[in-house]
Structure 1
Amino acid sequence: MNTSTKRYLKSRFHDYYREAKIHVPHSLTKREWGFISYDSMPETMMYRHKAFGTGGELRDYLVSMQPAHVYHSVALYDYPDAPTMKEKKWQGADLIFDLDADHLQDAPSSYAAMLEMVKTESLRLLDFLIDDFGFDEDNIKAVFSGGRGYHFHITDPKIWELESSQRREIVDYVGGKGIKSEYFYQKEFMIGDHGTGTRTFNDRTEILSKYVIKNPDTGWGKRLAEYIASYLEEEGQKEEKERFADIKHIKGFGKKTRQRMNRITKDSKALEDIRRGRLDFGKIKDFKAIMAQFFDNTIDQHRVTLAGSAQVDEPVTADIKRLIRLPGSLHGGSGMKVIPLKLEDMEDFEPLQDAVAFSDRPVTLKAIKPLEVQMKDLDIRVEEGVQELPEYAAVYLMCRGVAEYGSY
């Protein structure tokens, strides 16, 4: 990035911060702040250990310094501007979830498709936060990162003192890590046609026993029950010889089991019973192996991959001293806005339209290499050389490092 490009970007960021709505985090005076400047690039140097007394002080700093990236600590400290972490004296931390397309398997190369994929992943996480953990929606702050993903800030004071190990357990849970299928079902023994018996009646009621899913109304139990019912419905739409391809190799999946499952695929009442947690498959020799396969498939369908959770480094959620992007700031790698979102608006949010910060006025630049991007409903194809583009696209390309300002 040459000097002219840095100067241009700082000028545009300056104008943005004069008018922008900055979403100051709660407990502002207890937060540490960090900044990355265009002046230091191509080196990425973080200027941190800074604190502010008011939102006005923060805005004045942003207007005067025009940083490329703006971060605040997820933690609250007694002395946030102290030069070492020990001296800061940690008080607690918000619970942060970071979803980034870079961490998703099989992410598409198209920026627009990538953002759509990570939004789907984010909505999946939101289901865990509300239904599984029971967080109040007022304490869940959703944010588009301005780049390739979304953040969730959980601000409930009850979680502030959670340690890193406890936060890592949350990461493992939403990722389906270390969870075994046998945790979610058990055998229920019946007396006659009605009423639950006990194992003392085992000898005379074995034939009337059924498997049930534990807690089929919530959490992974609910997801497992729904998966099995949906799976059987879908298999019922196939030709009979093509059904159950992913479980027919299991030793216990014999002729009788296939016949029973075939009947269930057409039985709406039996499918509804499964959704309620009742697995009336009859006697299956290797039921445990079949359920393990069903549960593996359920995890593959619903698990959430968080930034860092599939790597050797510390997951963002478990890092109680992490810095996170400031909502309302600009992302220096894209020139787009870091936007706080209402939970009910997430599904309809279009980042390449709604997060665009700059105008349509033409800007001359020199592209260093070709690139394609979709912004504001336009497919923009850039070839090497001098050209004129809308300002928002020009800023994006310069922030990405694939173009320089001007015609030289």
Structure 2
Amino acid sequence: MVSKLSIFKLSFITLTCNDCIKSTKNEVIKLNQILVDDLGINEENIKIFFSGNEGFHIYVPNSEYENVGSKERAEISDYIMFRGSIPETFGFRKFNMNKSSLPKFDDDGWNGRLAKHLFGTKSNRPKISQEIVSGGYALFQKKLEDFRDSIGIKIDPNVTQDIHRIFRLPGSINSKSGLTKIFVEDLKKFDPYVDACFIDDEEIEVAANCPIEFSLKKKKFGPFNNEQVSVPKFAAVYMMCKGIASSV
């Protein structure tokens, strides 16, 4: 007997939530700190744009980094993401291990950030330092690898190092959401589902299949279960861009 194997194609659709945007904003804030404190960029030269979909574009015009090549951009990306860090980066030698060489809270750059993440509080430093020294080089290397995702800044390295990439023009509508790429004046107050939604509210009919509720322009929509509904044009465009609605 030959059994038949049913093959199903699985797909998923993402709808960015407020928590997602909040998390992305936090990454932008941390990135901004590194650009200013570590790379010496004037904060006034850092321009933040909402991409029109799920992220932000950070521009740094009028700086010494403006004309660097792909290789240099890749190295900057690694630094920002805390990739490729080794114990020697933080003064920890394989054959000369001592507690005094470990990062301190008052250190600049990644040393200070790592100290806060590694020890938690200054009172914990002596005990944890001794544990690291006792565990040796391999233990410290593993801790650095474990910390990479939690303290490294989440950026897109492929975009950052691509000097030939053409970025979306500010003021244009993103085809993945129907929202607009715009300059962000106040990151903390910025709400993309209000501030970047410029399509009008003319009512139109769509066939919608949206399993969750979402909010645009401070109005809530959904969930819709394969039904024909009348919604403002901005909500209809958003759902069609996300693949959860079609025109009728």
TM over 0.5: yes
Q: Secondary structure at the match of 1:386?
A: strand
State the AA in 2 paired with 1:379: K
Q: In the alignment, which residue of structure 1 is the partner of 2:150? A: 301
Q: Secondary structure at the match of 1:304?
A: coil
Q: In the alignment, which residue of structure 2 is the partner of 1:115? A: 21
Q: Secondary structure at the match of 1:389?
A: strand
CA distance in 2, matches of 1:283, 1:181: 11
CA distance in 2, matches of 1:350, 1:126: 19
Q: Alpha-carbon deviations, 1:18-56, whole Å to 9, x = none?
A: xxxxxxxxxxxxxxxxxxxxxxxxxxxxxxxxxxxxxxx
1:168 aligns with 2:168: no
State the AA in 1 paired with 2:235: A
Q: In the alignment, which residue of structure 1 is the partner of 2:46? A: 140
Give how far 1:214 is off.
5.2
> What is the 5 A alignment of 1:171-250?
171-186=77-92, 210-213=99-102, 216-230=106-120
Higher strand share: 1
Asked whether the 8 Å contact 2:132–2:140 carries over to 1, the reply is no
CA distance in 1, matches of 2:60, 2:110: 21
Q: 1:279 to 1:285 in 2, by over 3 A?
A: closer
Give unpaired runs (5+ residues) of structure 1: 1-107, 188-201, 234-267, 310-314
Q: 1:306 to 1:384 in 2, by over 3 A?
A: same
Give how far 1:297 is off.
3.7
CA distance in 1, matches of 2:129, 2:178: 56
Give how far 1:181 is off.
2.3
Q: CA RMSD in A?
A: 3.1
Asked whether the 8 Å contact 2:36–2:42 carries over to 1, the reply is yes
State the AA in 1 paired with 2:204: T
Q: Alpha-carbon deviations, 1:152-191, whole Å to 9, x = none?
A: 011124223311111111111112221112320348xxxx
CA distance in 2, matches of 1:283, 1:328: 51
Asked whether the 8 Å contact 1:364–1:386 carries over to 2, the reply is no
Q: Secondary structure at the match of 2:171?
A: coil
Asked whether the 8 Å contact 1:212–1:278 carries over to 2, the reply is no
Rg: which structure is higher? 1
Quick one: which of 385, 404, 407 aligns to 2:227? 385
> What is the 5 A alignment of 1:295-334?
295-307=144-156, 309=157, 315-334=158-177
Q: 1:117 to 1:282 in 2, by over 3 A?
A: closer
Q: Secondary structure at the match of 2:134?
A: coil
Asked whether the 8 Å contact 1:367–1:383 carries over to 2, the reply is no
Q: In the alignment, which residue of structure 2 is the partner of 1:63? A: none
Q: Secondary structure at the match of 1:333?
A: coil
TM-score (norm 1): 0.50
Give how far 1:357 is off.
1.1
Asked whether the 8 Å contact 1:125–1:304 carries over to 2, the reply is yes
Give how far 1:280 is off.
5.9
Q: In the alignment, which residue of structure 2 is the partner of 1:397? A: 239
Q: Alpha-carbon deviations, 1:118-174, whole Å to 9, x = none?
A: 223222222221222121112111111011111101112422331111111111111
> What is the 5 A alignment of 1:59-70?
none
CA distance in 2, matches of 1:387, 1:283: 61
Give how far 1:111 is off.
1.6
Q: In the alignment, which residue of structure 1 is the partner of 2:209? A: 369
CA distance in 2, matches of 1:383, 1:152: 38
Q: In the alignment, which residue of structure 1 is the partner of 2:188? A: 347
Give unpaired runs (5+ residues) of structure 2: 1-12
Q: Alpha-carbon deviations, 1:226-258, whole Å to 9, x = none?
A: 11221xx5xxxxxxxxxxxxxxxxxxxxxxxxx
Q: In the alignment, which residue of structure 2 is the partner of 1:260? A: none
Asked whether the 8 Å contact 1:185–1:211 carries over to 2, the reply is no
CA distance in 2, matches of 1:337, 1:368: 22
Q: 1:109 to 1:181 in 2, by over 3 A?
A: farther
Q: In the alignment, which residue of structure 2 is the partner of 1:149? A: 55
Q: In the alignment, which residue of structure 1 is the partner of 2:180? A: 337
Give how far 1:109 is off.
4.9
Paired residues, number: 230
Among the aligned pairs, what percent are the same residue? Answer: 28
CA distance in 2, matches of 1:116, 1:291: 32
CA distance in 1, matches of 2:227, 2:62: 51
